[in-house]
Amino acid sequence: MFHAAGTALIRAAAYPDDLVLPSWPNLTADQPTEWLEWLQEVWALPGFAATVTPAAPDLAAQITRALGGEVIRTRRLRRLVEATIRYLLRWTTRATPFGHFAGQPVGRGRRPVPRRRSNGRRAGRPAPDAVQYRRVVLGLLWMA
């Protein structure tokens, strides 16, 4: 249940006050040079790279490689620019917690390694059944 707390919450998009966005890239024609220039301008915006990197480390790494001179196929570069546009729009128009995107991982550990049986085959995990789900739900309801 939700209860009134007698306080106000203000949500706003968090980006620098003096932010000036570059013109949007033309994605209707293959113009990889123009796209890279746009990507360079956007990635240099104050706070943008720092906000995107923890939320989408793979995207940040791809942008860094592209700006570092790595050769990227035109189709792949277009998709990279499109993804960056989505994050830029989200950064400038949506309320985000503490100016960062929600759901950011706190740290990156090793990827889980699948368990293997002695014969080398993967060991399956038992799926939770209805009884286990019921216990969890009832436990959560009892705590509320």
> Residues 70-120: pLDDT tens digits?
999 999 999 999 999 999 998 888 776 555 565 544 455 555 556 666 666
Distance of CA 63 to the CA centre of its chain: 14
The pLDDT confidence band at residue 138, using thresholds 50, 70 and 90, is: confident
pLDDT for res 112:
55
pLDDT for res 135:
76
The winner for highest mean pLDDT among 17-26, 92-101, 134-143 is 17-26
Q: What's the burial of 107, exposed, middle or buried (CB within 10 Å: 0-12/13-18/19+)?
A: exposed
pLDDT for res 22:
94
Residue written as token pair 């301008």: 41
Residues in the chain: 144
> Residues 33-73: pLDDT tens digits?
999 999 999 999 998 998 888 888 999 999 999 999 999 99
The amino acid present at 90, given as its one-letter code, is: R
- Give me the DSSP letters along 34-73: HHHHHHHHHHTSTTHHHHHHHH-HHHHHHHHHHHTT----
Alpha-carbon torsion angle 44, 32, 59, 55, nearest 10: 50
> Residues 116-134: pLDDT tens digits?
666 666 666 556 667 776 7
